[in-house]
Structure 1
Amino acid sequence: MTSVVIGWILVTVTLILGGVFLLLHNVMGDTCVAMDEWVRSPTARSALDDILPCVDNATAQQTLYESKDVTFQLVSIVNLFITKVSNFDAPPQAGPTLYYNQSGPLVPTLCNPFNSDITDRQCANAELNFENAQQEWKKYVCEVSVTDGICTTVGRLTPTYYDQLMAMVNVGSVLYNYGSFLVELGDCTFVRKTFRTISMNHCSGLRGNTRLIVIGLVLASAAVMLCLVLWVSFTRESKHRGYAKQSQQESFSVDKINIA
């Protein structure tokens, strides 16, 4: 009896798993078809339009231009401060805005990756880039007086000015390095490439594997069910044979008693 119960539990579990994987197979199939249609005809109305609201190419290019322009402006402000304040030996009479006892070697300027017309620009040998500016500018930071905030050691950048410059550099670095990627997200170019890769390299394999899993679970369920039927039939036949044998023995005993 216990074997029969366990067998029916196995049949139920395999059927449930088969249904789950069949649902997963259908969902993946529909998703792959929707992705393929959207990749081939991104401007046509599809099931993914409401999920992926993409901007048009003109808007995306304008966004890219604005990100480059902001990067250019940020680097220009940083270099203007370095040339006009940090590297300028102003007299004490110039006031705290221009004078904080800066001295020593001149601070190298930051490379601006764009010209004024936002075309690409080659960096000069003496210019720093976004990657090494933090480490190099630390060499020009001075110690400051607590009372008046001017440098008490050799240096052309106070810790406060250094932190402000690095904040602007970090913003410019993000815009420069990830601006194109963000634009690709906006016009769904990145999503389109990802969907194309999934559709070409994974969809057929996923559909095939889930189909094999469903077939395997159905066959396993059918095999267990057949075993249960054969087991029940065998058990019932064994009981019938036992009853028949017992009846024959009882009949034989009665005959012996009657003869005696």
Structure 2
Amino acid sequence: MSSKRRNPPLLLLLFLSVSISVLFVSSSAAPGAETATFHFRAPRFPDFSRAGHGLVAPFGIRRHLADGNSTEAGDGNPTTLVLAGERTRRKDPSDNLKIYTGGFNISNQHYWTSVSATAAPFFLVAGVWFAVFGIVLAFTCLCYCCCPREPYGYSRTCYAISLIFLILFTIAAIAGCVVLYTGQGKFIGITSDTLERLALVILAAVMLGLAFLGFLLNVVHFVVNCSLVILGWILVAGTFILCGVFLLLHNVVADTCVAMDDWVQHPTAKTAMDDFIPCVDNATAQETLVQSKQVSFQLINLVDTVLANFSNRNFPPQLGPPLNYNQSGPLVPLLCNPFNSDLTVKDCAPGEVVFHNATEAWKAYVCQVSSSGICTTPGRLTPSLYSQMSSAVNVSYGLYRYGPFLVELEDCTFVRRTFTDINASYCPDLRRYTQWIYVGLVIVSAAVMLSLIFWVIYARERRHRVYTKQFMTGGGGDHNKGPGNI
């Protein structure tokens, strides 16, 4: 026997069951009268753009006009909104330094070049510092090695001023590290990125240690080793680059927050986000919800029709499969339909099973079958029929349970609610603490950079001062002079 005979399709079983029920129950129908049969058809989504359905958008289009306030001069066209227009007005290097006016648009390269230009000064400072200070160090080393001179003569004013500024910039570096540490702690508390937090903590600790160590070595009259200066030279350049990166991050975060707020406040306007967040209008979304309810209603009706007119019927033995497959035992409970025919909410009748326990309850009514598809044990559902009914229940439950949520995705209600929550709960802290981080990095970078300069100046003046005193007292020589010292 073929597989089709053993596992008859559900629609064929339905057709045969309804036909047999008409012969047994509706024998009084007039000859030639049209026999009412149940045909399950997939719901056809109407074209809502046709006349008679109201002015609504076709399914799958972008966001459209919902009320008269979003039209221009009553011509029915949606208004165009520039997201974060005021905040994103920046000079665009890729457009001859013209002011960028396209607003927040991550698909526009001019937006990225304009926002990246805000971080360019820090990258420029890092490059200039690395080049100029490197040249000065190289020139100093060449002069020291090739043209050695006795370090006599010094300026008391320069000595005092360099010491004062060294103290001030060391304090500034410590303050910058505190701001950086606090800002990154708050920022990572929001983003939960442990690796990034570890990197910033290490950076703050290294810069703080470098500033304090250099200050300590100078104040207690130890020599400042060249390797320490070179380390500071490289770290300052890297920290200035990080300043630019976090300034860029801060500006992008702030632009995004303002753009999300603008998009939420103007739900019917045409914006740059439409390419990434396509939304249908409310009328189309509600029609989709109606169609999902209709599909769920028809699926449940289909399952209950099969149970009532096929599985729970005792057909004469001579009919044989697929109508009579030796079904026996207690009747299978029907599935509760949550909707009436007009799609209003309906209460379950006594004895009906609901979505949550239907498949489990029906397992008790599944019989074991022979190779020909005949039940060999008591039961009213074959494994094949049970599997098909379970699939129908799952589809119907999915439409019933998640239909409203999918509609919220369609008309962007869910997205707007999410953006509102992000704006209220995360955006203020993100903007504040990314600013703290880049401000802390700026303070640390500038303070350590100037500290390095005054390390060298102060170390030179102190060495010359010591040599001058020794020369005046007749001691001669410089005890701090060495190949690796400044």
TM-score relative to the length of structure 1: 0.91
Shift of 1:118: 1.2
Alignment match of 1:48 (pick from 261, 267, 273): 273
The alignment partner of 2:363 has SS state of helix
Query: What is the CA distance between 1:104 and its match in structure 2?
Result: 0.4
- Residues 1-260 of structure 1: matches in 2 within 5 Å? 1-146=226-371, 148-241=372-465, 244=468, 249=474
**Percent identity over the alignment?**
59
Q: Deviations over 1:70-112 (max 9, x none)?
A: 0001000000011111100112222312111000010000011
Equivalents in 1 of 2:310, 2:388: separation in Å?
14
* Separation in 1, partners of 2:298, 2:320: 26
Aligned counterparts of 2:471 and 2:426: Cα–Cα separation in 1: 67
Cα distance in 2 for residues equivalent to 1:62 and 1:88 = 38
Secondary structure at the residue paired with 1:137? helix
What SS does structure 2 have at the residue aligned with 1:49? helix
Give the AA of the match of 1:150.
Answer: I
The AA in structure 2 aligned to 1:19 is G
User: C-alpha offsets along residues 120-168 of structure 1, whole Å, 9 cap, x if unaligned?
Assistant: 111123111111011111011111112x111100111111111010011
Is the CA contact (8 Å cut-off) linking 2:299 and 2:392 kept in structure 1? yes
Instruction: Please give the secondary structure, in 2, of the residue aligned with 1:101.
Output: coil
Q: Which amino acid aligns with 1:166?
A: S
1:257 is aligned to none
Provide the rounded CA distance (Å) in 1 between the counterparts of 2:424 and 2:335.
44
Query: Offset at 1:12?
Result: 1.8
156-165 or 38-47, larger mean C-alpha shift: 38-47
Match of 1:256 in 2: none
CA distance in 1, matches of 2:320, 2:299: 25
Question: Deviation digits for residues 25-51 of structure 1, max 9, x if unmatched?
Answer: 111111111111111111123232222
Which runs of no fewer than 5 residues in structure 2 stay unpaired?
1-225, 478-486
Aligned partner of 1:26: which letter? N
Per the TM alignment, residue 238 of structure 1 is displaced from its structure 2 partner at its CA by 3.6
The answer to whether the 8 Å contact 2:467/2:476 transfers is no
Alignment check: 8 A CA contact 1:10 1:224 kept: no
Please say which of residues 86-95 and 30-39 is displaced more in the overlay. 86-95
Preserved contact between residue 34 and residue 48 of structure 1 (Cα < 8 Å)? no
How big is the shift at 1:245? 5.9
What SS does structure 2 have at the residue aligned with 1:48? helix
Q: Which runs of 5+ in 1 are unaligned?
A: 253-260
Is contact 1:141-1:156 (8 Å) kept? yes
Q: 1:206 to 1:62 in 2, by over 3 A?
A: same
Give the superposition deviation at 1:237: 2.0
Whichever residue aligns with residue 305 of structure 2, its letter is L
Q: CA deviation at 1:236?
A: 1.8
**Aligned partners of 1:74 and 1:172 also within 8 Å:** yes
**Count of residue correspondences:** 251
SS of 2:292's equivalent in the other structure is helix
Provide the residue aligned with 2:49 in structure 1: none
Distance 2:441 2:346 in 1: 62
RMSD value over aligned CA atoms?
A: 1.8
Distance 2:446 2:461 in 1: 22
Greater shift in the superposed pair: 236-245 or 82-91: 236-245
Deviations 1:185-235, CA, capped at 9 Å, x for gaps: 001000010011111221111111111111111111122112211211122
3-state SS of 2:331 partner: coil
State the shift of 1:20 in Å: 1.1
Structure number having the greater helix percentage: 1
Q: CA deviation at 1:2?
A: 0.8
Could you say if the C-alpha distance between residues 251 and 232 of structure 1 is closer, same or farther in structure 2, counting changes exceeding 3 Å? closer
